Amino acid sequence: MKPLLLVVLAIVCNVGAQVALKRGANHELGWHTLFSIPVLSGLALYAVAFVLSIRIYAAYPLSLISPLMAAAIFLLVSLASVLLFNESMTLQKMLGMSVIVLGLWLLASSA
């Protein structure tokens, strides 16, 4: 599989894991919650993202790919939070996300 596709899959799995954990976090923390479908799905998605990340780190410089993936995950989780959980998107949050996108561009252009 191509390294860039691995990056996209790892990011999607990580975002999916966070969304799944959020869905499962609506209950009190106990055995019922820990073994719920959303929490177990989140765990499985994190495991897939972990394995993919090992392959990705072998293919790209860590100083470039780790910040790029972290920023992409942050941006997509923020978007998913608004779309799926009706969380607010304030002007301050949008400005912060814009700064992250600018940082991504600077980072990518320096490679």
Task: Write the pLDDT tens digit of every residue in 44-93.
Answer: 999 999 999 999 999 999 988 998 999 999 999 999 999 999 999 999 99
Other beta carbons less than 10 A from residue 12's beta carbon: 17
Task: Give the pair of three-digit tokens for residue 63.
Answer: 């100083």
Percent helix, percent strand, percent coil in the chain, to nearest 5? 85, 0, 15
Return d(Cα 23, Cα 84) in angstroms, integer: 10
Q: Which pLDDT band, with edges at 50, 70 and 90, does 33 fall under?
A: confident
107: left (phi over 0), alpha (psi -120 to 50) or beta: alpha
Return d(Cα 5, Cα 1) in angstroms, integer: 7
Three-state DSSP class for residue 2: coil
pLDDT > 70? residue 111: no
